[in-house]
Amino acid sequence: MKKILLTFFIILFCPLNILAYSKNVIPGGESIGIKIESDGLIVVGFYKVNGEYIASDNIRIGDNITHINNKRVYSINELTNVIDKSNTSEVDIKLIRNNKEVNTKLRLVEENNLLKTGLYVKDNVVGLGTLTYIDPVTKIWGALGHEILLSETNSRIEVKDGNILMSKVTSINKSRNGHVGSKNANISFNKKIGTIDKNTVNGIYGTYTSSLPEKDLIMVADFDEIKKTEAYIYTVTSNNAIKKYKIKILDKYPNKKNTTKAISFEIVDKDLINKTGGIVQGMSGSPIIQDNKLVGAVTNVLVDNVTLGYGILISTMLETGES
């Protein structure tokens, strides 16, 4: 079946990191807006200047531009200001490509009395997801259960700064076999509830800065406690009301305990299927609950059968959040 990713001390003076996450956490389920400012400018495409692609010879899609003429740049405005003040036909560029630093040149060409670079770049990403948990002791939160990739480059965005924000789901574009739908939401950009500190293969993580939700704590499940039987996911399908929907855990995979596909499940709740058709984008991070314990979070969907999906273990997310 075709799959798609939709759409966190020892004596003798030897340092050792010990991951001591809480065994009881605040369960999520809230729909959250996500805004990340990248650590540099990401090249997402090229355009012609005077009929010529002037930048494609030495710059590639996915490159992360960090310096222009030795000046650190984080935003499109900063890039534009440096270029406007350069008074030259080319500038020095420092960029990151495949985790390696590259120094090159960028040619500038005047068109309609404006200096053009021939580059399309991005300096931030805005999206929607679901909060998985908050650690009440450290206030570390985790969401999504998988990394955020730029759609244009399929590369992970490195975080300079970011926030999670309050949001309300306004409608659902339903999933159907062969097509993954999505949640649509209004994001309140002036209502920040947490910082985003890192974007990892196991989700996004940060510090919760708002008042902690008034919810009962839930125990964290061990891998051996997960059963191939009924469970629930917590998610929002309308406004900001968290509801629980029935699923069935089909299998768990010991050799994939630290991946985003450690468990497989099927949505069996008719109400959820009527509302969404199955798993939709924006559902990533929805907590999976079994026997009143937090098992993990929704991560992936099978495109050929959108009621089937995968999840990451909560222990993996907690370890990633603490590391």
**Per-residue pLDDT, 11:** 29
Q: 122 with 38: CB under 8 angstroms?
A: yes
Q: How far apart are CA 137 and CA 198, in angstroms?
A: 19
Q: How far apart are CA 166 and CA 33, in angstroms?
A: 6
Q: Taking the complete model, does pTM exceed 0.75, yes or no? A: yes
Q: 155 with 149: CB under 8 angstroms?
A: yes
**Cα-only R_g, the chain:** 22
Residues belonging to the active site:
146, 269, 284
Q: HSE on the CB side for 226, CA within 13 Å?
A: 27
Selection from 174, 171, 147, 173 nearest residue 158 by Cα: 147
- 307: which 2 tokens? 């009621």
Q: Which residue has the tokens 């490195």?
A: 158
- Please report, in tens digits, the pLDDT of each residue of the chain (323 residues total): 334 333 323 323 333 444 567 899 999 999 999 999 988 899 999 999 999 999 888 899 889 999 999 999 988 899 888 888 888 888 999 999 888 999 999 999 988 888 889 999 988 889 999 999 999 999 999 999 999 988 777 888 889 899 999 999 999 999 999 999 999 999 999 999 999 999 999 999 999 999 999 999 999 999 999 999 999 999 999 999 999 999 999 999 999 999 999 999 999 999 999 999 999 999 999 999 999 999 999 999 999 999 999 999 999 999 999 98
**Per-residue pLDDT, 22:** 86
**Per-residue pLDDT, 56:** 85
Beta-bridge mates of residue 117: none
DSSP-derived secondary structure letter, 285: T
- 115: which 2 tokens? 């200096």
**Pairing outcome for strands 119-134 and 114-116:** unpaired
